[in-house]
Amino acid sequence: MKILALIGSPRKGSNTDILVEKILEGAKENGHISEKIYLYDYEILPCIDCRNCKRGLFICTIEDMMHEIYSKMENADLIIFGTPIYWYGPTGQMKLLIDRMRPFIETKKLKNKKGVIVSPSEEGPKACGPLIEMFKMSFDYLGMEFAGKILASAYERGEIKNNQKELKNAYEFGLAL
Ligand SMILES: Cc1cc2nc3c(=O)[nH]c(=O)nc-3n(C[C@H](O)[C@H](O)[C@H](O)COP(=O)(O)O)c2cc1C
């Protein structure tokens, strides 16, 4: 299986990144291949509801780096959406990406792909309800399969490294993919 991991935290090597790495480590044990990208390295302009993706070639006509990500998403079997909780939702950069997923409504190119959510937050799982609901409903809309979530409590940069239980949980989740 090809896994694409999207890191929606601006802090490279921090909690989201560490948890996703653990999943990928586990997945690698089973022969899955993966690619991880940092969304903050990409220029992703906002969806402007021009609806060009709803007609003609059904492609987004905004010229930016999102087109590289479109190809990667289309080529993956499983996509990990990694984002810390920012105000009970995803980070701004992750939301820009989600809004730009509109071409997939018509093309159905994400249909039957699996989606995984990885989200650290200060408050932990109890703060993640709206985010999970948003992703699950969006996956449903696109015909994707919700394949699980890793929610962990962490606040400081890289703090999750000290939480062996959560690291093991993420690794085992990856192993079971
Ligand atoms: C702008 C902003 C908003 C945040 N909002 C929340 C929140 O609503 N609930 C929460 O539990 N943590 C919140 N946090 C804390 C982060 O989710 C937490 O520090 C997380 O571990 C960061 O992940 P990272 O290290 O991968 O960047 C917020 C952090 C920032 C910077």
Which pLDDT score, from 0 to 100, does residue 173 have?
A: 98
Which of 9, 11, 7, 8 is CA-nearest to residue 157?
Answer: 11
Q: Within its chain, how far is the Cα of 110 from the centroid? A: 13
Which of 139, 161, 143, 140 is CA-nearest to residue 152?
Answer: 161
Q: At what angle do helices 164-175 and 15-29 cross, to 10 degrees?
A: 40
Which pLDDT score, from 0 to 100, does residue 136 have?
A: 98
- What's the predicted TM-score (pTM) here? 0.99
Which pLDDT score, from 0 to 100, does residue 93 have?
A: 99
Which pLDDT score, from 0 to 100, does residue 177 have?
A: 96
Which pLDDT score, from 0 to 100, does residue 47 have?
A: 98
Which pLDDT score, from 0 to 100, does residue 119 have?
A: 98
Q: Which one of 22, 119, 155 would you pick to mutate in the ligand 1 pocket, going by the greatest count of ligand atoms within 8 A of its CB?
A: 155
Which pLDDT score, from 0 to 100, does residue 96 have?
A: 99
Which of 82, 51, 48, 45 is CA-nearest to residue 67?
Answer: 45
Q: At 74, list the tokens.
A: 């289309």
* Whole-number Å distance between alpha carbons of 140 and 31: 28
CB 11 less than 6 A from any atom of ligand 1: yes
**% of the chain with per-residue pLDDT over 70:** 100
Q: Which one of 7, 85, 117 would you pick to mutate in the ligand 1 pocket, going by the greatest count of ligand atoms within 8 A of its CB?
A: 85
Which pLDDT score, from 0 to 100, does residue 118 have?
A: 99
Q: What is the 94 CA–ligand 1 centroid distance (Å)?
A: 13
Give the residues of the chain that fall short of pLDDT 50. Answer: none
User: Which domains does the chain carry?
Assistant: 2-175 (3.40.50.360)
Which pLDDT score, from 0 to 100, does residue 158 have?
A: 98
* Whole-number Å distance between alpha carbons of 1 and 33: 6
* Residue ID of nearest Cα to ligand 1 atom 22: 84
Which pLDDT score, from 0 to 100, does residue 128 have?
A: 98
* Whole-number Å distance between alpha carbons of 35 and 66: 16
Q: At 77, list the tokens.
A: 């079997």
Token pair 């690794």 is found at: 171
Going by C-beta distance under 8 Å and a sequence separation of 6 or more, which residues neighbour residue 12?
38
Which pLDDT score, from 0 to 100, does residue 140 have?
A: 98
